[in-house]
Amino acid sequence: MRKTLVVGNWKMNGTRAFAAGLLSELKALSPWAADVAVCVPHPLLADAAQQLQGTVLAWGGQDCSVHAAGAYTGEVSAAMLADWGCRYVIVGHSERRAYHAESDETVARKAQAALAQGLTPIVCVGETLAEREAAQTDAVVTRQLAAVIALLGERIQDVVVAYEPVWAIGTGLTATPAQAQAVHALLRAQLAAATPAAASMRLLYGGSVKPDNAAELFAQADIDGGLIGGAALKAADFDAICRA
């Protein structure tokens, strides 16, 4: 039985004061039946680590470098995230792929770097609206995941996969439960061909998940939780999703 995982992606939002308030609210609302984590901006990791130590809430980063260390100004290594007690790191988010030209191979290398430091990478895959309308969804998401499988080999079993249709991120649009389940089933079948552990791997859905649609999405056979954007910035909404 796979335990639900709900991860809040704060993106580039929040000050230290905001983080202190939101994390305090979430601690007061916990615990939940699901595993819950927040991936905060890198400057807030120290505060998250201090506030969440010893609680049921885990924390993580929103990206990491493919490099272990060196002259890479502005980059954050997986070792640095591990040093702050992170459990998770998001890699391959569509915003990174689109705005920073990250290739499938780069995403795979980031997942590899995260695993080397004991982090669980949350590997994001997803298609644009144009790709969905061109009936390319299956080809796009399987290509993106195939690069990670090829590099990680048997260690693919140690990642979390998040399907985020790009057209549903921050738009208010959401894949129907049936649409989301179809892609998750495809991804699990692809993983099953690579590892016997596919049945126990957690696959998340992300893309305008809200309190009023989370329960139906999470009830699907191959959807094991969510990667939550905007709703993760409001304690009441995030709590309701965690309880869905």
pLDDT on residue 169: 76
Judge whether 42 counts as a catalytic residue: no
Answer yes or no: is 213 a known binding residue: no
Q: Looking at the domain covering 5-242, what would its CATH class be?
A: alpha beta
Question: Taking Cα atoms as reference points, which of 201, 186, 106, 187 lies closest to residue 148?
Answer: 106
Judged by average pLDDT, the poorest of 35-39, 117-121, 149-153, 171-175 is 171-175
Side-chain half-sphere exposure of 108, counting CA atoms within 13 A: 16
Answer yes or no: is 13 a known binding residue: no
Q: CA-to-CA distance for 8 and 40, rounded, in angstroms?
A: 8
Q: Give this prediction's pTM.
A: 0.96
What is the rounded radius of gyration, in angstroms, for the C-alpha atoms of the chain? 17
Question: Taking Cα atoms as reference points, which of 183, 103, 7 lies closest to residue 111?
Answer: 103
Answer yes or no: is 59 a known binding residue: no
Average pLDDT of the chain to the nearest whole number: 96
**Mean per-residue pLDDT, 86-112:** 97
Tens of pLDDT, residues 10-46 = 999 999 999 999 999 999 999 999 999 999 999 999 9
Beta strands in 142-216 (DSSP E): 160-163, 203-205
How many C-beta atoms surround the C-beta of residue 10 within 10 A?
Answer: 21
Cβ atoms of 44 and 80 within 8 Å: the answer is no
Please report, for the chain, the start and end positions of each structural domain, with discontinuous segments joined by +: 5-242
Say which of 93, 127, 131, 184 is annotated catalytic: 93
Tokens of 8: 């809040």
Answer yes or no: is 11 a known binding residue: yes
For the chain, percent of residues with pLDDT exceeding 90: 94
What is the amino acid identity at position 37? A
Judge whether 100 counts as a catalytic residue: no
Cβ atoms of 224 and 4 within 8 Å: the answer is yes
The percent helix, strand, coil of the chain (3-state, each to 5) is: 50, 15, 35
| pLDDT of 167 strictly over 90 | no
Tens of pLDDT, residues 193-233 = 999 999 999 999 998 899 999 999 999 999 999 999 999 99
| pLDDT of 153 strictly over 80 | yes
Say which of 95, 102, 131, 164 is annotated catalytic: 164
